[in-house]
Amino acid sequence: MKLTYAPYSLQFRHPFVLAAGTRTETEVVYVTLEQNGVKGYGEAALPPYLGETAKTVCDFLAKADISKISAEDIPSSFKAIDGAASGNNAAKASIEIALHDLAGKLLNKPVKDMYHIKGNTGPLCTYTIGIGTPQSVKEKLKAADEFKILKIKLGGGNDKEMINALINETDKPFCVDVNQGWKDRHYAIDMIWWLNEKGAILAEQPMPKEMLDETARLTEESPIPIIADEAVKRLEDIERVKGAFSGINVKLMKSCGIYEAYKMIQRAKELEMKILIGCMSESSCGVTAAAHLSPLCDWADLDGPWLIKNDPFTGMILNNGRVEIPPKAGTGAEKRAGFSIAI
């Protein structure tokens, strides 16, 4: 088996504003695992607030002992990848996703069949509207035609103004993501009830991830589901937050890839927690891998490819607003003609 990798920069269509700051691009690293002339592709998406960079991913991959990984044994391979160093979640995900893509191609099966997941369609996919102004909400909605459901980022200090601008322009259902932006529980409870009146479906990570007791109170009093994102990265984190949230946002870049994301979904179901499958700002390479788990989830937030203008892959599409998994072996993510990446 041969491992290659190359950094790349994804350019946003619109500068992306979050409670944590504004960005115009996201660094990623693409990975290929090749065996018998068959190539599997993976991606590490690296929003700066998570602490990994293209350099840390390349350093991790340079040290990877690929003699310990095999397309025929995902669980042992995952153990070897995960055991190589602590942290490095996106780096681990990149090689793990490439291994799934390769394994599926060698078996001539879509990745979802490796997990006995039925169906080719997932939930309706949300389209993300970043923090901005009422005017920017209007602008961004123009790009959201294909989507039947929206997600609006809050925590920028003008939350009510943003929601009012949104519901003035559209009657599409919407979720909100506060990205830990509300620090006061009483404010959070008032806002959640106000958002419920305005038609919000769910709220993601309203309060800082450390404020678990306050979040538990909020969840108890909330008329809509409160979903953990920043508070839950890996399987072990679910035990820590159970009871404090109604559900979890599972992302391959947090879970170190598909294998543990699947386990997180199983565990959340046992605990009767809701599941949102999400993504970082990433291309069709990573998002298409995540799409294979989406039939198991309640909601999907896999709009990464729609927010960038230089996606070097094709893969997941929307079918009447729903996530649709490509009917191909592996993840179904394929290199797009006209983009040169060194893998």
Which residues are near Mg ion by CB under 5 A? 177, 204, 229
Question: What's at 313, amino acid-wise?
Answer: F
Give which of 25, 34, 26, 30 is closest to 6, Cα–Cα.
30
Q: Which of 257, 238, 188 is nearest to 40 (CA)?
A: 257
Nearest distance from C-beta of residue 85 to Mg ion, angstroms: 26
| Nearest distance from C-beta of residue 116 to Mg ion, angstroms | 29
DSSP letter at 67 equals: G
Smallest distance from Mg ion to CB 3, Å: 31
Query: What span, in angstroms and rounded, lies between the C-alpha atoms of 80 and 312?
Result: 29
Identify which of residues 52 and 101 has a Cβ nearer to Mg ion in the complex. 52
CB of 233 to Mg ion, least distance (A): 12
CB of 214 to Mg ion, least distance (A): 18
Q: How far is CA 300 from CA 205, 210, 253, 263, 324, in A?
A: 16, 25, 15, 17, 11
Residue 287 CA, distance from chain mean position: 7
Shorter beta-carbon distance to Mg ion: residue 82 or 229: 229
Tell me the pairing of strands 121-124 and 21-35: unpaired
Residue with the shortest CB distance to Mg ion: 229
User: How many whole angstroms separate alpha carbon 277 and alpha carbon 268?
Assistant: 12
Q: Are 323 and 125 in contact (CB under 8 A)?
A: yes
Nearer to Mg ion, 204 or 282 (CB): 204
Q: Given the complex with Mg ion, which of 177 and 311 has the nearer CB atom?
A: 177
Q: Which is closer to Mg ion, CB of 43 or CB of 177? A: 177
